[in-house]
Amino acid sequence: MGLNQGMQPIAGYNFGAKQYPRVTQVLKITIYAATIVTTIGFLMGMFIPQLAVSIFTTHEELVNISAKGLRIVVMFFPIVGFQMVTSNFFQSIGMASKAIFLSISRQVLVLIPCLLILPRFYGQLGVWISMPISDLIASLIAGGMLWCSSVSSERQLPDLFIPILFRRDTYVLLEILTEERLSREIQLCCNFLDGEIGVFEQLFGFGNYHL
């Protein structure tokens, strides 16, 4: 929650300022940090479940049952951070409908049906496995929506960033805003690349530019 709250204003501000590389950077950093946090929880649940459960109860039988269940519950915990960050990311860039959908997908749309169906077939085990199943499905949905949004945004003008591969393994993010600005952006990039004008001529078919 703290990571998401820290990401939202940064991502929202840079998205509004059309600083899209910064938006991508803050998203990646937050996902990495959230994955580290949830992985720590996963390791604790797998290797010291009794110690984690004993914080809340000292009843021996309850501790043993809960410890077994905890190992199942945290099975896909490392990817939960990604799902939560993605949901808050859509909220920070103004895609409220996607953010709401992802927020309820894990705990409502997937978990509740699993809790209603799986215990009928697997008993108590069905209750435990409902949570990792909901974590996995919700994370896959979040990943799919994030990928689709990325592909969709790449096809839209004028707010389009095209990654172009040059010689010397140099990547340049070229922001296409208007027809008039395109030539100026090409000239600036060519100056930066010290004569890589032939790449632009081949890609865009524009006339000669003098460096």
- Summarize pLDDT for 86-110 with one digit per residue, the tens: 999 999 998 989 999 999 998 899 9
Asked if 105 and 80 count as a contact pair (C-beta separation under 8 A), the reply is no
pLDDT at 20: 86
Tokens of 47: 């290797």
pLDDT at residue 211, rounded to an integer: 41
pTM: 0.68
Rg (alpha carbons) of the chain, rounded to whole number = 24
Residue 77: count of CB within 10 angstroms of its CB: 22
Of 138, 88, 87, 85, which is closest to residue 111 (Cα–Cα)? 138
| pLDDT value for 4 | 87
CA distance 89 to 11: 7
Regions of the chain short of the pLDDT cut 50: 155-180, 194, 196-197, 199-204, 206-211
